Structure 1
Amino acid sequence: MFSFLAHRKACASKQQERRDRIEGLPPVYHAPLSSADKSILAQPASQIVAGVQGGSLSPPDILAAYGKKALKAHAATNCLTEILIPTAEEWAKICDKQGPLAGMPVSLKDTSAIPGYDSCIGYSAWVGKPMQKESALVRLLRDAGAVPFVKTNVPITLLSLECSNDVFGTTTNVWNKKYTPGGSTGGEGALLAYGGSRLGIGTDVAGSVRAPAHYSGIYTIKASMHRFLKTGNPTSMPGQEGIPAVYSPMTRTLEDLEMFWRAIMSMKPWEYDHSVLSLPWREVNLSESKPIRWGVLWDDGVITPSPACRRALQEVVSVLEANGHEVFPINDSPSSYEGLKIASQLLMSDGAKTCMKPMRTGETNDPGVQEAAAMFRVPHFLRKLYTWYLRYIKQDEIYAGLVESWYEKSVPEYLALVSQRESYRERWFEFVHANSIDFILTVPNSLPAPPIGGMKAGWKACGYTFLWNILDYSAGVLPVTHVDAALDALGAFKPKNAIEAAQYRMYDAQQMHGLPVGVQIVGKRLEEEKVLEGMKVIESLLKKEGKAYVLFESDD
Structure 2
Amino acid sequence: MIAERLSLQLPHTKVDPRILSALVCGSALALLALKWTRQRRLQQKLEEARRKREHALMEMRTMSLQFKEQNPSVQLEAILSLPLTELVEKLREGSLSPESVLYTYMGKALEVTHEVNCLTDFLPECVAQLQDLKKQKQRGPLYSVPISIKEHYDYKGHNSSCGLAYFLGTLAQEDSVVVQVLKKQGAIPFVKTNVPQSMFNFDCSNPIFGQTLNPHNHKKTPGGSSGGEGALIGGGGAILGFGSDIAGSIRVPSSFCGICGIKPTEGRLSLCGISSPVYGIKSVHPAIGPMARDVDSLALCMKALLCDHMFHLDPTVPPIPFRDEVYCSTEPLRIGYYDTDGFTLLPPCMKRAVQETKKLLEKAGHTLIPFNPLRMEYVVGELFLKGLFPEGASALLEKFEGDLIDPNLKPQLSVYKLPQLLKRILAFFLRPVVPRIAGELKALCGIGSAKNLWKQHAAAEVYCQEFIAEWKKLRLDVVLCPVMGPAFNLGYLGKLVASGTYTVLYNILNFPAGVVPVTNVTEKDEEELRHYKGHYNDHWDKLIKKAAAGGVGLPVGVQCVALPWQEELCLRFMKEVETLTREKSRSTIGPRIEAL
CA contact (8 A) 1:302 1:499 kept: no
The residue aligned with 1:166 is 207
Taking the TM superposition and a 5 Å limit, the aligned residue runs for 1:154-303 are 154-266=195-307, 268-285=309-326, 291-303=332-344
Tell me, yes or no, if structure 1 residue 313 matches structure 2 residue 354: yes
Q: Secondary structure of the equivalent of 2:533?
A: coil
User: Residues 34, 356 of structure 1: CA spacing in aligned structure 2 closer, same or farther, 3 A cutoff?
Assistant: farther
CA contact (8 A) 1:174 1:216 kept: yes
Tell me, yes or no, if structure 1 residue 436 matches structure 2 residue 475: yes
How far apart in 2 are the matches of 1:224 and 1:548?
36
Q: Mark the runs of 5 or more structure 1 residues left unpaired by the alignment.
A: 551-556
The residue aligned with 1:145 is 186
User: Residues 282, 397 of structure 1: CA spacing in aligned structure 2 closer, same or farther, 3 A cutoff?
Assistant: same
CA contact (8 A) 1:7 1:125 kept: no
How far apart in 2 are the matches of 1:187 and 1:416?
37
Instruction: Please provide the CA RMSD for this pair.
Output: 2.3
User: Residues 126, 387 of structure 1: CA spacing in aligned structure 2 closer, same or farther, 3 A cutoff?
Assistant: closer
The CA deviation at 1:366 is 5.7
Q: Secondary structure of the equivalent of 1:418?
A: helix
Tell me, yes or no, if structure 1 residue 397 matches structure 2 residue 438: no
The residue aligned with 2:466 is 427
The CA deviation at 1:403 is 2.7
Q: Secondary structure of the equivalent of 1:488?
A: helix
Q: Mark the runs of 5 or more structure 2 residues left unpaired by the alignment.
A: 1-34, 590-596
User: Residues 130, 294 of structure 1: CA spacing in aligned structure 2 closer, same or farther, 3 A cutoff?
Assistant: same
The residue aligned with 1:474 is 512
The residue aligned with 1:553 is none
Aligned-partner residue type, residue 196 of structure 1: G
Taking the TM superposition and a 5 Å limit, the aligned residue runs for 1:53-92 are 53-84=92-123, 86-92=124-130
Which 10-residue stretch deviates more, 402-411 or 471-480?
A: 402-411
User: Residues 50, 495 of structure 1: CA spacing in aligned structure 2 closer, same or farther, 3 A cutoff?
Assistant: closer
How far apart in 1 are the matches of 2:331 and 2:109?
44
Tell me, yes or no, if structure 1 residue 450 matches structure 2 residue 488: yes
Aligned-partner residue type, residue 95 of structure 2: S
User: Residues 367, 109 of structure 1: CA spacing in aligned structure 2 closer, same or farther, 3 A cutoff?
Assistant: same
Taking the TM superposition and a 5 Å limit, the aligned residue runs for 1:275-424 are 275-285=316-326, 291-331=332-372, 333-341=373-381, 342-365=383-406, 367-368=408-409, 370-392=410-432, 394=433, 396-409=434-447, 410-424=449-463
CA deviation map 1:467-510 (0-9, x unaligned): 0000000101011111112343224343443364243342454x
CA contact (8 A) 2:61 2:107 kept: no
How far apart in 1 are the matches of 2:341 and 2:292?
27
User: Residues 166, 277 of structure 1: CA spacing in aligned structure 2 closer, same or farther, 3 A cutoff?
Assistant: same
How far apart in 1 are the matches of 2:345 and 2:354?
13
CA deviation map 1:29-72 (0-9, x unaligned): 13599652222222222222222322222222211111111111
The CA deviation at 1:250 is 0.7
CA deviation map 1:301-341 (0-9, x unaligned): 2111211111111110121122332112213x422222222
Tell me, yes or no, if structure 1 residue 463 matches structure 2 residue 501: yes
CA contact (8 A) 1:284 1:533 kept: no
CA contact (8 A) 2:255 2:557 kept: yes
User: Residues 434, 92 of structure 1: CA spacing in aligned structure 2 closer, same or farther, 3 A cutoff?
Assistant: same
Aligned-partner residue type, residue 389 of structure 1: F
The residue aligned with 1:554 is none
The CA deviation at 1:133 is 1.5
Which 10-residue stretch deviates more, 241-250 or 178-187?
A: 241-250
Aligned-partner residue type, residue 403 of structure 1: L
User: Residues 26, 216 of structure 1: CA spacing in aligned structure 2 closer, same or farther, 3 A cutoff?
Assistant: closer
The CA deviation at 1:128 is 2.4
Aligned-partner residue type, residue 116 of structure 1: G
How far apart in 1 are the matches of 2:328 and 2:44?
59
How far apart in 2 are the matches of 1:126 and 1:214?
29
User: Residues 23, 246 of structure 1: CA spacing in aligned structure 2 closer, same or farther, 3 A cutoff?
Assistant: same
Aligned-partner residue type, residue 12 of structure 1: E
Aligned-partner residue type, residue 92 of structure 1: L
CA deviation map 1:263-309 (0-9, x unaligned): 21245521222331111111345896764111112211211121111
User: Residues 213, 291 of structure 1: CA spacing in aligned structure 2 closer, same or farther, 3 A cutoff?
Assistant: same
Q: Secondary structure of the equivalent of 1:200?
A: strand
The residue aligned with 1:8 is 43
User: Residues 65, 290 of structure 1: CA spacing in aligned structure 2 closer, same or farther, 3 A cutoff?
Assistant: closer
Tell me, yes or no, if structure 1 residue 485 matches structure 2 residue 523: yes
Tell me, yes or no, if structure 1 residue 36 matches structure 2 residue 59: no
Residue from 2, 13, 17 that aligns with 2:52:
17
CA contact (8 A) 2:60 2:106 kept: no
The CA deviation at 1:450 is 1.1
User: Residues 47, 516 of structure 1: CA spacing in aligned structure 2 closer, same or farther, 3 A cutoff?
Assistant: same
How far apart in 1 are the matches of 2:74 and 2:202?
37
CA contact (8 A) 2:261 2:514 kept: yes
CA contact (8 A) 2:488 2:548 kept: no
The residue aligned with 1:102 is 143
CA contact (8 A) 1:231 1:275 kept: no
Q: Identity rate of aligned residues, in percent?
A: 29
Q: Say which structure is richer in helix.
A: 2
The residue aligned with 1:532 is 571
The residue aligned with 2:157 is 116
User: Residues 42, 266 of structure 1: CA spacing in aligned structure 2 closer, same or farther, 3 A cutoff?
Assistant: farther
Which 10-residue stretch deviates more, 27-36 or 322-331?
A: 27-36
Aligned-partner residue type, residue 509 of structure 2: L
CA contact (8 A) 2:196 2:224 kept: yes
How far apart in 2 are the matches of 1:488 and 1:356?
38
Q: Secondary structure of the equivalent of 2:335?
A: strand
CA contact (8 A) 1:3 1:360 kept: no
Q: Secondary structure of the equivalent of 1:134?
A: coil
CA contact (8 A) 1:156 1:365 kept: yes
Work out which of the two has the higher radius of gyration on C-alpha atoms and give 1 or 2: 2
The CA deviation at 1:346 is 0.6
The number of equivalent residue pairs is: 543
TM-score normalised over the length of structure 1: 0.92
The CA deviation at 1:415 is 1.4
Q: Secondary structure of the equivalent of 2:463?
A: helix
Q: Secondary structure of the equivalent of 1:425?
A: helix
How far apart in 2 are the matches of 1:120 and 1:297?
38
User: Residues 413, 62 of structure 1: CA spacing in aligned structure 2 closer, same or farther, 3 A cutoff?
Assistant: same
How far apart in 1 are the matches of 2:588 and 2:516?
9
Q: Secondary structure of the equivalent of 1:538?
A: helix
Q: Secondary structure of the equivalent of 2:241?
A: strand
Aligned-partner residue type, residue 517 of structure 2: P
